[in-house]
Structure 1
Amino acid sequence: MQVPSSAPTPIAPDALLVEVAWEVCNQVGGIYTVIRSKVPATMQGWDDRYCLLGPYFSQQAQGEFEAYDDYQLSTLSDPFAIAVRRMRQLGYDVCLGVWLVTGRPRTVLINPYQAYPQLGQIKYELWDHHRIPTPDNDDLLHQVEAFGYLAKIFLQVLASEVVPPQRVIAHFHEWMTGVAIPGLRRDQTPVHIVFTTHATLLGRYLAMNDPNFYDHLMQVDWLPEARHFNIETAVTMERAAAHGAHVFTTVSELTVRECIYLLDRIPDAVLPNGLNIERFVAGHEFQNLHQQYKAKIHEFVMAHFFQSYSFDLDKTVYLFTSGRYEYHNKGFDLTLEALARLNYRLQQSGLEGNVVMFFITKRPFTSINPLILQNRAILDEVHETCEAIERQVGERLFYAAAASTDHRLPDLASMVDDYWKLRYRRTLQSWKTNSLPSVITHNLVDDQKDDILNFVRQAGLINHQHDRVKIVYHPDFVSPTSPLFGMEYGQFVRGCHLGVFPSYYEPWGYTPLECVARGVPAITSDLSGFGDYVMQNVDAHEDKGIYVVQRQEKNFDESAEELTEMLWNFVLLTRRERIMQRNNVESNAEIFDWKNLRIYYDRAYMLALERQ
């Protein structure tokens, strides 16, 4: 599979494209990034023949969706607007408007709750026609089934309004919208259907619970396993969607195997994911942004560590990993093992410098650790005191210099009032402590069962002064409102030196790609869709700052040693070499732009149009 240089425009001028996803104006998972970031490139090829379809949830839609009022809707003559008006005439609660993202795409949102009175009939037909069972007490499944029923009606109305030779393509993402597909096919609705699974639902559960998932994949009996994990309904929906689609696709060569063994259909195409790289481009400013946000990370590190002991921040490398808390799937276990080995190597080497590793994920917690908040507040007070002393000394030094005939530098200490000297001394006394810096920033609901904490405790990687690798576990999102970091996640990424994502199970993997888009080197694995794509399509990828840990043909120990070697070599880079590498990463990010990768989607659409 080779990266195409560009995508042709326009695509299938006699076709309309409706892209259906649960994450349209509804940020609940990684597919939100796929859909949102792809919009500008998709609209280049489809323009006003493109429309998104998703569920209407008022709280999420308020900040992302701008609905047309009745007058605006009445003036529109395109098939999407006509279909919405027709559905309203039939009594359905349907909104047409724009998604407030780059490209401002036409978007239809349908309230799933309006179909709840028909849930009994919907569930009966799903079982009677397609053998899809539904429990009575699962509201998410009820939302999904209600939306699928309404999405089917919208597409049927749209298809009835389309005048030949114009045709309709409907592209469904994941089982949560794919539930509409079996009904569309049974009713012989003249719509050309594409279905994409971004990760098989059963595959994700099995990988989390089986350390040898890939070796056992061929022996899996899907129905008993789905019942074991209590996901029979969702998996049955996924299988029905995969078999009902004219064109079945997935996001990486890795997930092709899952689809074959867990869904019993070979995908017709692989649709790799990209980003709208323009959103991340900072031009010649990106190195300055790294310095700016690294300085904010310095502030956090000083507040977190310097009350116990200090180290040279100019000789400190910042690493991070992030994502859902899936200890095995996300490779947190492999990362921690490699960090422990790296710590030992650095201690034995006698080399200068330290590594601070951030784990950014989401876990249930009761509060931020009060001592950490207090340390940050006291450091802020130290900063304010130093600035006050600086202003006072500056003014008095300037006066002394202008008035003096002596060319020697005066005693600066004598220029500071006793008040500021006392405040400076007392502030430092209240800050310094003999206790070790905490490994975790928050108080978890159940830290005794947390795998990350249990590993660092057993490995003794608990931020001793002699540890050359320091751990900061932050079980919450990084945001500007956080009293610890006070910046966006993207800014935090720019301030770090390397992202570490050696996943065991990752159908695609946006986190390393987001690093690359921001000019930050990243480590991925050959068991992630992104890593697999890089190995197949990006020549000399390590020179471009993308490292791929081999996990397919190696055991845990071998992969941990390879990751340790990668981290060791990265830490040994000089500052100039790291700058050059960031330049390489930033200049090659264009490879992963949607305007280059969109062609895979368009080929799937053309294939769907060929099939009846």
Structure 2
Amino acid sequence: MDKNKLFPDYVFETSWEVCNKVGGIYAVLSTRAKTLQDKIKDHVIFIGPDCWGEKVCPFFKEDNSLFPQWRSKVAGEGLKVKIGRWTVPGEPIAILVDYHPFFADKDRIYGQLWEDFQVDSLHAYGDYDDSLMFSYAAGKVVESFYNANIPAGKKVVFHVNEWQTAVAALYIQKVLPQIGTIFTTHATGIGRSIAGNNKPLYDYLSAYNGDQMACELNMQSKHSVEKQTAKYVDCFTTVSDITARECKELLDKPVDVVLPNGFEDDFVPKGRAFTAKRKAARKALLDVANALTGSQFGDDTLIISTSGRYEFRNKGIDVFIDAMNRLRLSDKLKRNVVAFIAVPGWVKGPRKDLQDRLVFDTPYTEALPNPVITHELYNEGDDRVLGMMRWLGMDNGKDSKVKVIFVPCYLIGDDGIFDKPYYDIILGNDLCIYPSYYEPWGYTPLEAVAFKVPCITTDLAGFGLWANKEKGTGEYSKIEDGAEVVHRTDSNYNEVADNIRDVVLRYSTFDKKQEDMCRKKAGTLAKKALWSKFFRYYEEAYDFALRKAMKRMESVKAKAAQQA
């Protein structure tokens, strides 16, 4: 670390995904936690929402020995918190706060936000109220903890992630101006919405007006809190150069620092443990495929998957299905392929008929009814994955060399079919495909290569652009480099689907030596994205925020001296 840079004595960080595994930010924060713990042991404190009530949070371990005096004090301040540790490598301190009591004061809070920071909450709907009440509660927790536990003169940073927690930074900047504030948008709300509404984002980015588009797409309040926080916070950041351009155009505020998402390889088993887990994962995937479709797939089957948030166009789920269909219709494919789509839908529960077959673990020759999905859905007739597969005639027929299986739930170990967490499943794949249209960074391809699974992604993903850059030749990264980066634009959908099909066809012809080399290169690429390589960008952001806070405090002191 540069000795001329300021580094915090304490770091508070909040996100809707602290101890709450609902998306990629969980992986960003949970894998970075150990790096922070190694630098400032137990002086990094994560704050998350208490979504669990009386239930036990599977990612959190309460510890009543932590901060006993503050525990009683904070209760007297009307804050209901659980204090413990996040059960990830490094086991950082985590505080879960019940934000529901603040709903009674919602109108006053929104009025104050407008008065102080011009945050427009008039058009709020959906998850806006929950998010902002949690954000406000998180700010109150930081305020209380700081006043009770942190000695004067200590350098403190408060880092908030996404619009859902932005208000916490604004609140702290007002009540504790000595704290440096950082706001990271992992994807602008308005950019994601433009892309998700089938509008061309990239060709017309410079012509879009963020405020105007927010009105058109009914995003005014979410856009407002994101834009105003970007304006007022000490250090505004995002995760890739492609999203930095988006922030400048749609939020009217250039980012101060780009913070690419790294990974911590503590999550990846080593040596014999890796081999055993890969073997177990492949067996689990093939067992489900065999039981569902009445097939007898052997270990020479090419196992493929895509995963992530259920954003049909943005995550390229549509292209993935189309590419698998084109692969299915190709006369060049010589190997059997099983492709899994692991994105959480409106799931009702695991299929009982599939569970029964998996329990008995005997070969079946007949497929189950609807052999394309592992769980029951509430909205099966309206689901877009199933709808596109029906439209293309992808019914996992007996003679098809390509079977596509929809896994519409979070893989956290209790889904009723696999009953393994995602990281114990992903390493069973031969190839992962993430043909994103809108992907500020792309944690899923980084996770894949970290588990030595080669992947296909696009140059509209921050990770894809980074992989191209790491190749160092000015050419696009290829599957032989560990990650194939496909060129994608607003209008070349068919070309992307064909390119993915062709890469899979080529990979399916590789012998074991070639596959092992691709897997080795994937692991090598992942090591270039370890937090030990990327944390320097955070050091830059911490320094930037702390210097802004120091300057603000000098101004406050000068003003106080004048008034005296």
Structure 2 length-normalised TM: 0.86
Q: Which residue, 10, 20, 24 being the options, matches 1:16?
A: 10
- Name the CA shift for 1:89/1:586 in 2 (closer, same or farther; >3 Å): same
Whether 1:280 aligns to 2:280 is no
Q: Which residue, 512, 517, 534 being the options, matches 2:467?
A: 534
* Structure 2 counterpart of 1:352: 334
For 1:14-163, list aligned pairs within 5 A: 15-59=9-53, 62-69=57-64, 73-74=67-68, 87=74, 90=77, 92-134=79-121, 140-156=127-143
Whether 1:363 aligns to 2:345 is yes
State how far apart, in whole Å, the 2-side matches of 1:277 and 1:471 are. Answer: 30
Whether 1:327 aligns to 2:312 is yes
Cα offset for 1:568?
1.2
CA displacement, residues 381-408 of structure 1 (integer Å, 9 cap, x when unaligned): x47xxxxxxxxxxxxxxxxxxxxxxxxx
State how far apart, in whole Å, the 2-side matches of 1:168 and 1:561 are. Answer: 51
State how far apart, in whole Å, the 1-side matches of 2:68 and 2:354 are. Answer: 57
Greater C-alpha Rg: 1
Q: Which residue, 236, 245, 251 being the options, matches 1:257?
A: 245
Shifted more, 351-360 versus 269-278: the winner is 351-360
* Structure 1 counterpart of 2:505: 568
For 1:292-441, list aligned pairs within 5 A: 292-306=280-294, 310=295, 313-345=298-330, 347=331, 349=332, 352-366=334-348, 368=350, 372-373=354-355, 375-376=357-358, 380=361, 382=362, 432-433=365-366, 438-441=371-374
The residue matched to 2:91 in structure 1 has which SS?
A: coil
State how far apart, in whole Å, the 1-side matches of 2:158 and 2:218 are. Answer: 30
Whether 1:473 aligns to 2:406 is yes
- Name the CA shift for 1:272/1:300 in 2 (closer, same or farther; >3 Å): same
Answer whether contact 2:323 2:497 (CA < 8 A) is retained.
yes
State how far apart, in whole Å, the 2-side matches of 1:111 and 1:312 are. Answer: 48
- Name the CA shift for 1:143/1:124 in 2 (closer, same or farther; >3 Å): same
- Name the CA shift for 1:53/1:8 in 2 (closer, same or farther; >3 Å): farther
* Structure 2 counterpart of 1:520: 453
The residue matched to 1:610 in structure 2 has which SS?
A: helix
State how far apart, in whole Å, the 2-side matches of 1:151 and 1:592 are. Answer: 30
Q: Which residue, 501, 513, 520 being the options, matches 2:434?
A: 501
Cα offset for 1:88?
5.1
Cα offset for 1:255?
0.8
The residue matched to 2:41 in structure 1 has which SS?
A: helix
State how far apart, in whole Å, the 1-side matches of 2:329 and 2:519 are. Answer: 27
* Structure 2 counterpart of 1:78: none
Answer whether contact 2:89 2:266 (CA < 8 A) is retained.
no
For 1:454-465, list aligned pairs within 5 A: 454-465=387-398
- Name the CA shift for 1:370/1:36 in 2 (closer, same or farther; >3 Å): closer
State how far apart, in whole Å, the 2-side matches of 1:314 and 1:55 are. Answer: 42
Which letter maps to 1:330? K
CA displacement, residues 400-434 of structure 1 (integer Å, 9 cap, x when unaligned): xxxxxxxxxxxxxxxxxxxxxxxxxxxxxxx5448
* Structure 2 counterpart of 1:178: 166
State how far apart, in whole Å, the 1-side matches of 2:109 and 2:446 are. Answer: 40
The residue matched to 2:269 in structure 1 has which SS?
A: coil
State how far apart, in whole Å, the 1-side matches of 2:425 and 2:145 are. Answer: 44
* Structure 1 counterpart of 2:421: 488
Instruction: List gaps (5 residues or longer) in structure 1.
Output: 1-6, 76-80, 384-430
Whether 1:192 aligns to 2:174 is no
CA displacement, residues 288-344 of structure 1 (integer Å, 9 cap, x when unaligned): 4323322233322322333xxx56624421111112222111111212222222223
* Structure 1 counterpart of 2:483: 546
- Name the CA shift for 1:212/1:314 in 2 (closer, same or farther; >3 Å): same
Cα offset for 1:103?
1.5
* Structure 1 counterpart of 2:533: 596
- Name the CA shift for 1:133/1:286 in 2 (closer, same or farther; >3 Å): same
State how far apart, in whole Å, the 1-side matches of 2:95 and 2:420 are. Answer: 33
CA displacement, residues 7-59 of structure 1 (integer Å, 9 cap, x when unaligned): 67997466432222222233333212211111001122222432223334443
State how far apart, in whole Å, the 1-side matches of 2:347 and 2:386 are. Answer: 14
Percent of aligned positions that are identical: 29
* Structure 1 counterpart of 2:554: none
Answer whether contact 1:68 1:96 (CA < 8 A) is retained.
yes
Answer whether contact 2:345 2:408 (CA < 8 A) is retained.
yes
Shifted more, 600-609 versus 544-553: the winner is 544-553
CA displacement, residues 168-196 of structure 1 (integer Å, 9 cap, x when unaligned): 22111111221133344455722211111
State how far apart, in whole Å, the 1-side matches of 2:524 and 2:533 are. Answer: 15
- Name the CA shift for 1:521/1:536 in 2 (closer, same or farther; >3 Å): same
- Name the CA shift for 1:188/1:551 in 2 (closer, same or farther; >3 Å): same
Answer whether contact 1:65 1:98 (CA < 8 A) is retained.
yes
Answer whether contact 1:14 1:165 (CA < 8 A) is retained.
no
Q: CA RMSD in A?
A: 3.2
- Name the CA shift for 1:126/1:61 in 2 (closer, same or farther; >3 Å): farther
- Name the CA shift for 1:604/1:90 in 2 (closer, same or farther; >3 Å): same
State how far apart, in whole Å, the 2-side matches of 1:34 and 1:556 are. Answer: 29
Which letter maps to 2:102? A
State how far apart, in whole Å, the 2-side matches of 1:285 and 1:488 are. Answer: 16
Which letter maps to 2:117? H
Whether 1:577 aligns to 2:514 is yes
CA displacement, residues 521-571 of structure 1 (integer Å, 9 cap, x when unaligned): 111111112212222234466434211111148711222222122111111
Answer whether contact 2:179 2:546 (CA < 8 A) is retained.
no
Which letter maps to 2:232? G
Answer whether contact 2:305 2:431 (CA < 8 A) is retained.
yes
Shifted more, 181-190 versus 501-510: the winner is 181-190
CA displacement, residues 447-492 of structure 1 (integer Å, 9 cap, x when unaligned): 4433333333333332233322222222233465455434333232
Answer whether contact 2:268 2:274 (CA < 8 A) is retained.
no
- Name the CA shift for 1:273/1:90 in 2 (closer, same or farther; >3 Å): same
State how far apart, in whole Å, the 1-side matches of 2:4 and 2:58 are. Answer: 31
State how far apart, in whole Å, the 2-side matches of 1:587 and 1:239 are. Answer: 38
